[in-house]
Amino acid sequence: MIRVGICRALDGVRFLPDWEAFLAGLGCEIVVSEPTTRQMVESGVRQAPAELCLPVKACVGHALALQGRVDRFLLPRIVCRRTKEGPLFGCPKAIALPDMLRALIPDLPPIVEFLLDEREGDESRAYRELAEALGLRKRRAGGWPTEKWPREKRPSGPAAEWSHRQVTEQAGPGLAGRARTPVVAVVGHDYLIDDDELSLGLLPRLAAAGAQVARGTPEASGAAAILPGFEPDWLFERELIRQALGWASRLEVDGLLLATSFACGTSAVTYDIIRRAVRRHRPELAVLELVFDEQTGPAGLTTRIESFVELLRMRR
């Protein structure tokens, strides 16, 4: 049985449940790295170039933690998805991740890629090529799966217990009907916000400061009216823009918190677009941007969060 390692980092967070189901169907043993620890971050920082963002450095640490425990590494290379708005592209640093890890860790086990480039073929092709790269083309009767497994067929067990953590409410009547505590919509990549080591427990700190936290993608009924005239051709950054402006269109939201990591080139563009749109259409909405790196300390973070929540409370 082939042991396939998956890093609990970057785009692997998004695809992990589907990969688990697909690989289990092929008879693979799945080894998922543990939640991020300080040791992982420090080992990744030592190994990776300083110019990389914190989540990429952490991913290097996850790979080092799995070294010697697996036969293959599975890494995503999300190049392009075709949408009704045209082709959209992944993060340049994440696209280069497989090559980067090969260069940084020469004795790493062989890397197999989940290469998704819908200019060349759809997602089912990416899964077929993944199965072929693992040498498991004839493992199942009739060949290999040609599409993702449905979510209801995901495997059980330790590898399947972890998925995106949903710690907040979705948009809905519940937000407006609650006690009048400040409502803060948090926008950012899941692999940063939901990682308590990288974000220093951002969501619990907000709750402890007395804020009601809103996460996810709200109904887009009001967001369309304030979408900017220009949106970058980055797939996941468009998601963040529409999340942020969807929350900004809801009057019960008092503040918008934008979380990013130092050296993230895409967020420098994305969050400026969001701030400009908010200033134009809802100037009274308070916006706080938090930038995380390996030097970020919990005391300063707590002070900024508490000050932001107190400002929102005073505005009520």
Tell me the per-residue pLDDT of 74-133, one tens digit each, with 9 for 90 and over.
Answer: 999 999 999 888 899 998 888 999 999 999 998 889 999 999 999 998 898 999 999 999
Residue owning tokens 């209801």 = 152
Q: Is a pLDDT exceeding 90 seen at residue 286?
A: yes
| Three-class DSSP category at 112 | strand
Distances (CA, A) of 194 to 36, 75, 202: 11, 20, 8
Q: Return d(Cα 174, Cα 16) in angstroms, integer.
A: 30
- Judge whether residue 152 has pLDDT over 90: no
pLDDT, greater one: 199 or 297: 199
Q: Kindly indicate the confidence band of residue 217, based on its pLDDT and cuts at 50, 70 and 90.
A: confident
Answer whether residue 136 shows pLDDT above 50.
yes
From the list 188, 181, 187, the residue with the least C-alpha distance to 211 is: 181
pLDDT at 30: 92
209 pLDDT higher than 90: yes
Token pair belonging to 166: 């949903």
CB 127 within 8 A of CB 20: no
CA–CA separation, 20 and 28 (whole Å): 9
Non-local (6+) Cβ contacts of 179 within 8 A are none
* pTM as predicted: 0.82
Domains of the chain, start order: 3-160 (3.40.50.11890), 173-315 (3.40.50)
Cα separation values, 66 from 5, 251, 269, 305, Å = 7, 46, 34, 35
| pLDDT of 143 | 42
Interior angle at CA 187, CA 302 and CA 118, nearest 5: 145
Going through the chain in order, the beta strands assigned E by DSSP cover 3-6, 29-32, 72-83, 86-89, 111-117, 183-187, 212-214, 255-261, 286-292
Give per-residue pLDDT as tens, 225-248. 566 677 888 889 988 998 898 898
State how far the Cα of 71 lies from the Cα of 3, in Å rounded to an integer. Answer: 5
Average pLDDT across the chain, whole number: 83
pLDDT tens per residue across span 250-277: 888 999 999 999 988 888 889 999 999 8
Cβ contact 92:33 at 8 Å: no
The yes-or-no verdict on residue 17 having pLDDT over 50 is yes
Does the pLDDT value for residue 177 go beyond 50?
Answer: no
311 pLDDT exceeds 70?
yes
| pLDDT at residue number 137 | 60
Q: Each residue of 21-66: pLDDT tens digit? A: 899 888 899 999 999 999 999 999 999 988 899 999 999 999 999 9
Q: Is 213 helix (H, G, I), strand (E, B) or coil?
A: strand
For the CA atoms of the chain, what is the radius of gyration? 20
Nearest to 33 by CA among 3, 2, 53: 3
